[in-house]
Structure formats: structure tokens, C-alpha cells
Structure 1
Amino acid sequence: MKSMMEWCMGYETCQGESSHPFDQDWNLYWGWEANQSSCDDDVPWWEVEERLARDEDLQQRDMEDEERFFEEEMPDDQEELLTEDDKQFAAHLRRAEAVIKGISDSRKDHFEVVEKKNGKLKLFKSLHGKEFLKLVKKGCDDRCAQLRVVNQNPYVGIYHKVTRKWQYELRKMVEYGVLEGGVTRTVLIMNTVMEDIKAEASRPIIQDFSRRADRAAKDRKEKAISIIDQCFSERARLLVLRVDLGYRKGKFVESEDFLQDMEMVKNEWRIMSDRIKSGKVIPNVMAVFGKLEYGVLAGFHYHLVVIMKGSDHRQDINFAKMVGQYWYSEVTCGEGRYFNCNRIKHLYKKLGIGTINYHEKNKVDALKGVVIDYVVKSDYYMSALLPARKTFVQLSCTKKEKKGRRGRPRRYPSRV
């Protein structure tokens, strides 16, 4: 009997299958030599909307200005591989969003003067302060200024705006660790930078945008958990698949008409979902849910969860592969790509996919927590580019069984 690791090592990827997720995080390092763009003629969308709101007297706005990507295992002639610069660029955008949002949500000072026992002054940096300086030290890719879509994410836009404003001081800071004038002046300047970030992020239009996006993520999670609870009420064992469905490199990136492209993507998803629901892709599907997202390099992609009857099937890796292959060959005619999360489930610290019994609390918690949180998380690019558009999908593929349960009652009280 082969171990899971040995089985997965013998797994053969097919054309159209990615070896890495569409938006996986990386732990990478860039030198300061990377160019920090100092000019950007494009006005962020939130500032344009603020001006329109002011000019049309729609509402009062605070106008104070102080303020797992994928590397595909494909034939070389298809040129599907992302470069190291691509990976670093995508990681930069995700980290910029996380750091700026963290700073804006914090109420404390991120830089302080601490007196040591010998009377000397020491610079203390909070976790967010350290992460901000790490991000600044790694620098920006030229595409931060070249690609129009980059700063549509308001938190990424705030990062680039503030670092351009304070670029001289920040260069000195990451080079020497302290500014001219010593620790006291360094703390004053760096906390002023932090206040600029908070002021930008506290604009009413940004606050409203963030609340809407985060509230939508919370609603999506509640719907997804409801689906899972319904499935467990019908079956004591589920087979859970996680598949990312996307497109070849470059498709839908820097689009001229995002609305038109999204309609094309959603039309293909409608075809895919109808085929799943009818049983043409894989058998005995109980429910499906997932969310459409947009990546600056990955373009449009779906994070998909498929729930099957676990008492009838066990081969989750093969079923997930069948879902991806159907998307690649039948729906997108070779334009699609997919990532099979189930084939690397042995690497997850908290396993919430594969075969899950109702009494396996750790797996159920991981499914409702880690897996669901990842699938329904806020996507600020989609929220900015295509506001008020439905991006979460849910399908109930089986009707609730009305017949009484057969066999013995469940030994353990349901934890779902």
C-alpha cells in the first residue's frame, strides 16, 4: 500500500494543470536596487469619485490630503512560466495591502523612543512598523507605475502614494536604520509617515469601500457554512474538493473592458456549473460554492469548493482533476488553467479537504475556518473594478432527503 506522499509523487499533471495556486503567498527577498517609481500621472479611483461627489453635492467628503501564483508545468513552447520578477511583484502587492490595512486599523504608535539601562536611546518598532520597512526595503517593480490596475486596490494605492511622498526619508531609513538627528527625530518622522497612511485610509470613501467588502466576505462565509451544515445533516461523511479555475497567462490582464471580460468569464462559469449540477463532470455532487477573484497577473480566477457524497467515493484527487480537466478542455477550449489543491493536501497543517466525517472536529473546523476563509476572503481588486457585481456562487445539487435515516443513530452529537 503506497503512502500518500508516494502516491502524490507519482501523480501526473496534465496539460492545463498548474503546479501552484493562482495567488499563493511567497517568502521572497528583493534588494533595494529595484526601482522605486517616483511619478504617476493617474489619479486613484477613490479621489476621482470624491471629486465627483463634491461637485455634484451628493454627500460631504473629507478631502484633507494629509493623509499559492501559479507556475505551470506546460510545454516550453507555450511560454506559460512566470518569472521570478512576476512572483516578487505579485507578492509585493499582497503584502502592501496587508501592511497598509494593518497600520490603518491600529490605534497605537508604531515607532517609539526607549531609554536603555545605560541611558542611551533606542528605536522601538512595532510589528507593523517592521513589516512596513521590510516592504520599503524590497522596493517596487516598474509595473507598479506601468499597470493601470495596480492602484485600483486602495490599500496598494495608499502605499505607493505615501512612499513616493516620503521616498527620501524612507531610503535613508532602510539604509542606515536611523535618520539624521538621531532616534528622537527618526521616531517623529516615521510616526508622521504612519499618520499619513492612517489619514489616507480614514477617508470616508475608503472606509465605506472596506466595510462593504469585508461585510460581503462575512456574508459569504455564513452562506458557505450553511451549505456545509446542510450537507452534514444529510450525510455523515463528505468528500470535499478544492480546485482553482483560471486562465492562461496574460488572458484578461490589463483589460480594456473589465465588465465585458467578466461577463465572458461568468458565462463560462454558468456552463461549468450547469454541467456539474447535471452530473456530467463528476457524480454524486451535493453542493458547490466558490468566488470569482481578480489578480493583477493571474487575471480572473475562481476558488471552488465541491462537496460530494463521502460514503460513495474516496478518490478526491482524481475527482478534483476531473473538474479541472473539464474546465480546461470542454468549457474554455484550452484557454483555461486549474490547480488541484487535493493533490497537495498532505502539506496542509490544518486539513479541511478530502474525506471528512461529521465527528472529526479538527477537519470540520479546518473546513469551516481555513478553507472557507480563504475562499470567501475580501478581494479589493474585484470590489474596486466591478463594484456591486455578484462574485460568490453557490449551488445545491441535491434535494434534502426526506426519508428517515437508515441504520444506527450517530454515535456522537453533531458538531456542525
Structure 2
Amino acid sequence: MKKLSEKLFEIEQLVHAIIEQGNDPLYTVIDQGKGVVRVTPTPLTKRLSSTVKNYLYPLLNQFPIHEFNPYINAFFRSVINTNVMESIEQQASLNKRHNRYQTDGDYPVMQELMTRMHACVDQIRAETKSAAFRTIIYNANRLSKKNQDGMMHYIDSLFDHYSKLIVVRIDLGYQKGNHIINQADIPKKYWQARSHFKHFLNNTRRNSLFEHLVGNIWSFEYGPEKGFHYHLILFFDGSKVRQDVILARMVGDYWVKCIVGSQGRIWNCNANKDTYPDCGIGLIHFSDTEKREHLNQAAAYLIKIDHYVRMLTPGDGRTFGRGEILPPKTGNIGRPRSK
């Protein structure tokens, strides 16, 4: 199965296809005589049916305390309101190896599925055409673009001040036990994770391990496998530190040993950077445009997920953050050109 977060992008594209293909009949029905009807779903219908069947419940379980992108929200609301899944399962239970149905036998099952599919698609189209929906989309896109532009400007400002950077990409989380079991767990475990990360960031200002840290970007997420966790990018002055893999491991050890304790868990992306086809971590020189572009893509991923599904946090807390954009250099002092 595809990574579920990636499927959200495909669902948004599916909703756009439903909107754009307004004349799609969804099904072709041909009476073949003798009480036999042939029903052929269109490619759009097959796509919709497959998405509902394979990803409805896994996605809802994967993101139990989240708000989806408006297009994805419209998809889930319509699918649930029209109870399409039930009809898909009933039709599948017929174990049909062809598209022919008996009018006095199993055809009513197929008719019910067609009715619900049409209702689902009609609801998606009606909701996404409303003025209220267009306002929601405008605001969501504006916020996403603001975060994206600010983050790119921030990374550029770091390279304006440092000739090279050591980029560490690491996930900070917990062992099993940080998962939500009931409603009471949500604020308790949320604030626990927030408190730990705040402690971590505060300590970067005075611990010698982070003496040459010059910036950070982070996102805060929840998933049933990992529980609450942080995706973190750290920027170190590349003229002062080296060996990014070891540095990332030391940061992870610090999270486990000094912040969280035995329940801590980390994922060191730098240790696996050789497996990434477009690597944007490790040592990056300001003039290495290709690697800087890969870094931008890696950083943009942190915002991309938040664009498609945003965690609903107690007190509407932040799920994304970065350091302050550095002011432009003034005078005749240029960026160091050390290799």
C-alpha cells in the first residue's frame, strides 16, 4: 500500500477530476435481453471506487485528530454521507467476474451502488462550487503559500550568511505508548510532546552540542504508528562542524537520554542519505544549486503534509515552525568563500 500521506494528494486530484468531468455518466448500462443487463463503470468511477475501498478507513484511522484539506474534506463527507462504502462491499460480495447482472437477481444491488455513486459525485460537485467553499480554498492556499515562501526565504538567508551548512534531518518521537487510546489521552500526550520539544529547543541555546547551530525548521504530527512526533531540520555552520551522520546521532541521543528518557525514539535520516536519489542533507555549499534545490524539496515536504492534513491541536497550537529570517548583510563584508 502506498504511503497514506501521499494518497491524500491523489484524492485531491480525484476531486478535481470529478469537478472537471461534469458530463461523465459514471456507468454505461446496456440491456442485453433475456433479463440480463451489462453495467460498465467509467475510468472515473473505477478510480473513485478503488480509492474508497482501499483508503477510506486506513486514512481516517491514520489521521484521527486532524482536519483535511477542503477538497479532501469534501470527498470524505460525501463518501460517508452517501454510504458508498456499504454498496461497494455489497457489490463486491457478489464475486462477479464480468459486468452482467440478472434483472430479477443481483441487478438491484448494482442499481443501489450506481445511485449512491451518483449521489456522492453530485454532493462533491455541489459543495465545491459554493461561494463558501471558494473562500475556504482561497484562505487555505494563501496560508500554505505564505509558509512556503517564508521557509524558502529563511533557507536562503542562512546561505547568505554562511558559505556552507551542515544540514541534519531527524525525527524525534516516542516508543509505543504515546498513542491516543481515548479522548482523555489527546491533551495529555499532546502537551507532553509539546513540553519535551520546547525543552529540547530551549536547551539548544546553551548546550555545547548545539554551539554552532544556526537555524531550524520543524513540523509536529501524529500517526497511529508513531504517535506524536516531530520532523526536524537543523542547520549547523559548516565551517565549524563536520560529520553530519555522527552529529545527527548525537542529537538523537540527546533527545532520548536528556529530554525524554527510555521512551524516546529517533530516526536519523542522515545515516540513510546515500539511499536518497535527491539528497538535500549533509554538507551543502552555498554555490551547490542542485543540492540546495533538493534541500528545498525536503523542507517543502514538511509544509506539504500540513497543506493536505492539519493536526487539530488543543488551544490551536502551532504544527510548524522555523527560526527567524536573518537580516541581509550590510557593508562590504561578503560571505566567506571557504571550501
The TM-score, its normalising length taken from structure 1, stands at 0.61
Relative distance call for 1:297 and 1:121 in structure 2 (3 A) is: closer
Asked whether the 8 Å contact 1:213–1:378 carries over to 2, the reply is: no
**Could you list the runs of 5+ residues in structure 1 that have no partner in the other structure?**
1-25, 28-67, 69-90, 115-119, 411-416
1:12-411 equivalence runs, <5 A:
26-27=1-2, 91=4, 94=5, 97-106=8-17, 107-109=19-21, 123-126=41-44, 129-138=45-54, 149=64, 153=68, 154=73, 157-158=76-77, 161-162=80-81, 164-165=83-84, 167-169=86-88, 171-172=90-91, 176=96, 178=99, 180=101, 190-199=117-126, 212-254=139-181, 255-256=183-184, 258-368=186-296, 370-379=297-306, 382-386=310-314, 388-395=316-323, 404-405=333-334
Paired residues in the alignment total 312
Report deviation, 1:125.
Answer: 0.8
Structure 2 Cα separation of the partners of residues 135 and 219 of structure 1:
31
Cα distance between partner residues in 2 of 1:305 and 1:121 = 52
Q: 2: distance between equivalents of 1:365 and 1:340?
A: 21
Distance 1:121 1:392, change over 3 A: closer
% of aligned pairs identical? 21
Deviation, 1:241, is 1.0
Q: Is the 8 A contact 1:111 1:125 kept in 2?
A: no
Measured in 2, the distance between the counterparts of 1:204 and 1:259 equals 35
Aligned CA distance change for structure 1 residues 342 and 238 (closer, same or farther; 3 Å): same
2:204 match: secondary structure: helix
Q: SS at 1:244's partner residue?
A: strand
Q: In the aligned structure 1, how far is the partner of 2:271 from the partner of 2:220?
A: 22
Task: Provide the C-alpha distance between the structure 2 equivalents of 1:164 and 1:197, rounded to a whole number of angstroms.
Answer: 14
Pair 187,390 (structure 1): closer, same or farther in 2 beyond 3 Å: same
AA aligned to 2:245 is I
**Alignment match, 2:32:** none
Range 213-222 or range 285-294, more displaced: 213-222
Q: Distance in 2 between matches of 1:105 and 1:339?
A: 35
Closer, same or farther in 2 for the Cα pair 1:344/1:323, shift >3 Å? same
The code of the aligned residue for 2:266 comes to Y
Gaps of 5+ in 2: 29-37
Distance 1:400 1:309, change over 3 A: farther
The CA distance in 2 between the partners of 1:214 and 1:149, in whole Å, is: 23
Decide which structure has greater strand share. Answer: 2
Q: 1:290 to 1:139 in 2, by over 3 A?
A: closer
Distance 2:137 2:251 in 1: 33
Q: Which residue of 2 aligns with 1:87?
A: none
- Which residue matches 2:33? none
Distance 1:407 1:95, change over 3 A: closer
Preserved CA contact (<8 Å) 1:350 1:366: yes
- Cα displacement (A) at 1:299: 2.2
Task: Supply the AA of the counterpart residue of 2:192.
Answer: M
- Distance in 1 (CA, whole Å) between partners of 2:236 and 2:286 is 14
| Post-superposition offset of 1:210 | 5.8
Cα distance, 1:268–1:179 mapped onto 2, change above 3 Å: farther
CA contact (8 A) 1:282 1:322 kept: no
What's the Cα RMSD here? Answer: 4.2
TM-score, structure 2 normalization? 0.73
Select between 355-364 and 97-106 the one with higher mean Cα deviation: 97-106
The answer to whether the Cα contact below 8 Å between 1:100 and 1:155 also exists between their aligned partners in 2 is: no
**SS of residue in 2 equivalent to 1:241:** strand
Shift of 1:95: 6.4
Partner Cα distance (1:111, 1:264) in 2: 51
- Deviation of 1:225 after TM superposition, in Å, equals 1.3
Cα distance between partner residues in 2 of 1:104 and 1:350: 30
State the match for 1:6 in structure 2: none
Going from structure 1 to structure 2, the CA distance change for 1:190 and 1:287 (only over 3 Å counts) comes to same
